[in-house]
């Protein structure tokens, strides 16, 4: 089914939806431009904690899609805010990369690699993960029995252009869970409702009047299903048509599109003079 009307607000995943690697996907720029021209709120969400919102602002600007920092939220933001709300005095051990550590330090949290002082172990997407980090997490959780485990996001891998990918946060979480026998008590990324609340902050709109747009069934689309939003799966990232065909009726996205600018109803395509080949001209 194709959209026939515009929604009151749009929430977009980034990698695999708006861009892939260092290139905007076909029609993404004209879609965002047209929604903004009509005064329709646009927000961007990412489960990737290896960049902070400032870095996303810089990347989108480089790609020709200038965006205010207030329109971007990712798991660096949601993890920091969740900890401020629920564990403001905690000492943290971050199995993650510098943007997450920097944000937590700037928010006033104490970071430590001393297992006797750690209250919370944060599992994240960490391309410097090694045995010594696993040992610290193990000691804080299992040996000293004082730390809890949370994760920034549940993604198994991060997709790359050309079909490759890198192990993501779920791999780090699984390693810590396997050796300690504990489970993560909080997920701060999609499909958690925490991400949606962050995305819609400051907007007086009902989630039911919004649409979540992304390329992943278990994060983007599941968050929409869990929160009563319309959902749009774009086939420009991880998910294939066969994956969609295998879903039961209760897990089907509202829309399945081969390109993101098809969110604009056909009657508006005709009014705007859009075609599938002239997307660079708008």
Residues at the annotated binding site for substrate? 46-48, 190
Tally Cβ neighbours within 10 Å of residue 226.
13
Which of 15, 155, 168, 261 does the annotation list as catalytic? 15
Which of 13, 52, 155, 168 does the annotation list as catalytic? 13
Do 217 and 247 form a contact (C-beta atoms < 8 A)?
A: yes
Residues at the annotated binding site for Mg(2+)? 13, 15, 215
Is 13 labeled as catalytic in the residue annotation? yes
d(CA 133, CA 96): 10
d(CA 46, CA 13): 6
Strands ordered across the beta sheet of 148-151: 110-111, 91-95, 120-123, 148-151
- DSSP-assigned states of every residue in 11-70: EEE-BTTTEETTEEPTTHHHHHHHHHHTT--EEEEE--TTS-HHHHHHHHHHTT----GG
Ordered alpha helix ranges (H), 1-52: 28-37
Is 130 labeled as catalytic in the residue annotation? no
Residues at the annotated binding site? 13, 15, 46-48, 190, 215
Tally Cβ neighbours within 10 Å of residue 72.
23
Active site residues: 13, 15
């Amino acid at each position: 089914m194709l959209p026939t009307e515009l929604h009151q607000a749009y929430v977009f995943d980034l990698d695999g939806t708006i861009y892939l690697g260092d290139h905007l996907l076909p029609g993404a720029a004209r879609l965002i431009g047209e929604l903004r021209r009509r005064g329709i709120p646009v927000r961007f969400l990412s489960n990737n904690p290896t960049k902070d919102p400032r870095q996303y602002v810089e990347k989108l600007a480089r790609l020709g899609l200038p965006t205010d920092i207030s329109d971007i939220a990712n798991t660096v933001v949601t993890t920091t805010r969740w900890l401020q709300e629920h564990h403001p005095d905690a000492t943290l051990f971050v199995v993650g990369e510098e943007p997450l550590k920097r944000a937590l330090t700037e928010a006033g949290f104490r970071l430590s690699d001393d297992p006797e002082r750690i209250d919370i172990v944060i599992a994240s997407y960490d391309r410097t993960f090694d045995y010594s980090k696993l040992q610290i997490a193990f000691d804080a959780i299992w040996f000293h029995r004082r730390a809890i485990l949370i994760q920034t996001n549940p993604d198994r891998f991060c997709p790359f252009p050309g079909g490759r990918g890198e192990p993501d946060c779920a791999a780090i979480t699984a390693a810590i869970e396997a050796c300690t026998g504990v489970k993560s008590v909080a997920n701060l990324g999609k499909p958690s409702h925490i991400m949606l609340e962050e995305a819609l902050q400051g907007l007086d709109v009902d989630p039911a009047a919004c649409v979540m747009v992304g390329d992943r069934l278990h994060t983007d689309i599941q968050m929409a299903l869990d929160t009563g939003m319309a959902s749009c799966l774009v086939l420009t990232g991880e998910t294939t048509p066969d994956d969609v065909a295998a879903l039961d009726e209760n897990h089907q996205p509202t829309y399945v599109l081969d390109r993101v600018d098809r969110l604009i109803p056909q009657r508006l395509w005709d009014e705007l003079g859009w075609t599938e080949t002239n997307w660079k001209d708008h």
